[in-house]
Amino acid sequence: DAKTTQPPSMDCAEGRAANLPCNHSTISGNEYVYWYRQIHSQGPQYIIHGLKNNETNEMASLIITEDRKSSTLILPHATLRDTAVYYCIVSAYNTDKLIFGTGTRLQVFP
Amino acid sequence: KAGVTQTPRYLIKTRGQQVTLSCSPISGHRSVSWYQQTPGQGLQFLFEYFSETQRNKGNFPGRFSGRQFSNSRSEMNVSTLELGDSALYLCASSLVAGELKKTQYFGPGTRLLVL
């Protein structure tokens, strides 16, 4: 399984865009990039995933570089409730096994 | 539609005992995975079940076992508990394992404290 590298922590002002980077330079061709987040003491929550195209849903946007070696999760208008640990995960096509790294602790401040 | 439910939510056991945790997936979901979360090791994959078969197993000792029933409900068992087994145990379900890439939905977890 490919490994990911994320900054340990980031701050973002409420209402501004939060851009969370992730490096996955050893990703394989059949591996997807997933983002989950975990709000304190709750189970992780799915945010978005992609293979090679940029993706957008009601929660966030995912930008994957052309060489697929890195990606950025964008929360367009961060709120205080977005304060959480964000995990970037690469996962093989044929399994539900997720390898969580240490994630990025995003603190949204007023 | 109800989410993933886990029982019990909190549990206190003593060293040497065994424990069984239960997970009910979202209705219609057939794949269930288990994870252990500790402050020191973070979130670690335990096992993955689909159609009552274990498809994948993480790097945990044989004291950790699991099973899945025909209704997709799953249980995990930890025997001969050690202090280091104190953790949040999370269950996740997804619609179908394998062919289609899909999302996993996590339950609230069972917090186990071993004294």
Of residues B99 and B91, more confidently modeled: B91
Mean pLDDT of A33-59: 92
Are A96 and B55 a contacting pair at CB < 8 A? yes
Question: Does A1 have pLDDT greater than 60?
Answer: no
CA distance A5 to B94: 26
Residue B101: predicted pLDDT: 53
Across A39-83, the runs of DSSP E, i.e. the strands, are: 45-50, 55-56, 61-64, 70-75
Are B92 and A43 a contacting pair at CB < 8 A? yes
A-chain CB neighbours of B112 within 8 Å are none
Q: Percent of chain A, pLDDT > 70?
A: 96
Q: Is A81 helix (H, G, I), strand (E, B) or coil?
A: helix
Write the CB contacts of B87 (distance below 8 Å, at least 6 apart in sequence): B36, B37, B38, B111, B112
CA distance A92 to B88: 25
Which member of B4, B45, B105 has the closest CB to residue A97?
A: B45
Question: Does B99 have pLDDT greater than 70?
Answer: no
Kindly tell me the sign of the dihedral angle through the C-alpha atoms of B82, B84, B85, B87.
positive
**Nearest chain B residue (CA) to A41:** B108
Question: Does B100 have pLDDT greater than 60?
Answer: no
Question: Does B98 have pLDDT greater than 60?
Answer: no
| B8: preceding bond cis by omega (within 30 degrees) | yes
Of residues A103 and B103, more confidently modeled: A103
Residue A43 touches partner B, C-beta closer than 8 Å: yes
Are B55 and A95 a contacting pair at CB < 8 A? yes
For residue A14, what is the enclosing H or E element? none
Residue B95: predicted pLDDT: 82
Torsion angle (degrees, nearest 10) of CA B93, A27, A33, A91: 0
